[in-house]
Amino acid sequence: MSPLPNDRIHIRDLALRCIIGVYPEERHAAQEVVINITLWADLARAGRSDDLADTVDYKAVKNAVVAMVEASRFQLLEALAEKVAGICLAAEGVAAAGVLVEKPGALTGARTVGVELFRRRSE
């Protein structure tokens, strides 16, 4: 496997609402999830050209994630995170994606619970 680019794009603290959870009481109303995304990509060309065509369109990635999450009905944070990673890897120029999905208030006494994963584009 080839090494990852050193360059990264971060989308931080994307707060969305969706149906998420395994218990019946979690399946009736949308709950908040907070998503953090890191995209590994070679940004050198964009840094030189100052042209959107030479970089990852992170607004398009964000919009695709928002649309998917808000329409989703996953039981597990793991499944939601996997789907988010797939959207990220489908974006032109993204070599790898790190995704952290958190569900604030899911555990009594804890601010949040989260699932974090890292996925690479297949070569």
* Angstrom distance (rounded) from CA 112 to CA 48: 40
Number of domains in the chain: 1
Q: Which residue reads 């959107």 in tokens?
A: 52
Tell me if 95 sits within 8 A of 85, measured CB to CB: no
Q: Where residue 123 falls among pLDDT bands split at 50, 70, 90?
A: low
Say if 3 falls within a structural domain. Answer: no
**Residues 6 or more apart from 55 whose CB is under 8 A from it?**
41, 43, 45, 46, 93
Q: What is the CATH number of the domain that holds 50?
A: 3.30.1130.10
Q: Which residues are catalytic?
A: 103
| Full-model pTM | 0.95
**Residues 6 or more apart from 45 whose CB is under 8 A from it?**
54, 55
Say if 46 falls within a structural domain. Answer: yes
Domain range for 68 is 8-120
Mean pLDDT of 91-114: 96
Give 53-96 pLDDT, tens digit per residue.
Answer: 999 999 999 999 999 999 999 999 999 999 999 999 999 999 99
Give 5-46 pLDDT, tens digit per residue.
Answer: 999 999 999 999 999 999 999 999 999 999 999 999 999 999
* Angstrom distance (rounded) from CA 122 to CA 95: 9
Say if 1 falls within a structural domain. Answer: no
